[in-house]
Amino acid sequence: MQFTIHADGGARGNPGLSGAGAMIRDEFGSSVATVSKFLGIRTNNFAEYEAVILAFEALMKLVPSEKRNETKVVVKMDSELVVKQMRGEYKVRHPILKEQYARLMHAISTFGFVSFTHVPRVKNSDADALANEAMDRGSNL
């Protein structure tokens, strides 16, 4: 099994009203799940991490636990910070991001192979739209 996660988080103001969005596609490119969640007042970087965490939580509901160690997941996002931190190229220094990093590491630990790839924003439009929808919902509260 193979899945691709396109994830994005954003904040209007930093910190500000924030949202997370993700699109999960199977190996054929078909959408199998989406995530769009308003996060309250958070930073952009928090929201970027939360988008991937929420995507993995959704993926865990789709993939039986006995199949996860055989599952390949490619995460694509426009957050260079999160990608480089997850690859071990950058250290995670901020205490709140350390918590997010630990949550994400726990979420990915049951999957066989997980990679993180930086993509330009224009190649992440589905996830960007889902994150913006979440922020729009939050601004109407």
Residue ranges of the domains in the chain? 2-134
pLDDT at 140: 79
Q: Which CATH number does 2-134 carry?
A: 3.30.420.10
CA 87 to chain centre: 14
Is the pLDDT confidence value at 1 over 90? yes
pLDDT at 139: 83
User: What would the mean pLDDT of 54-76 be, rounded to a whole number?
Assistant: 97
User: What would the mean pLDDT of 63-68 be, rounded to a whole number?
Assistant: 96
Band (pLDDT 50/70/90 cuts) for residue 13 is very high
Host H or E run for residue 87: helix 80-87
Host H or E run for residue 93: none
Higher pLDDT, 140 or 52: 52
Q: Is 16 exposed, middle or buried (0-12, 13-18, 19+ CB in 10 A)?
A: middle
DSSP conformational letter for 88: T
Percent of the chain with pLDDT over 70: 99
15 prior amide bond cis, ω within 30: yes
Band (pLDDT 50/70/90 cuts) for residue 141 is low
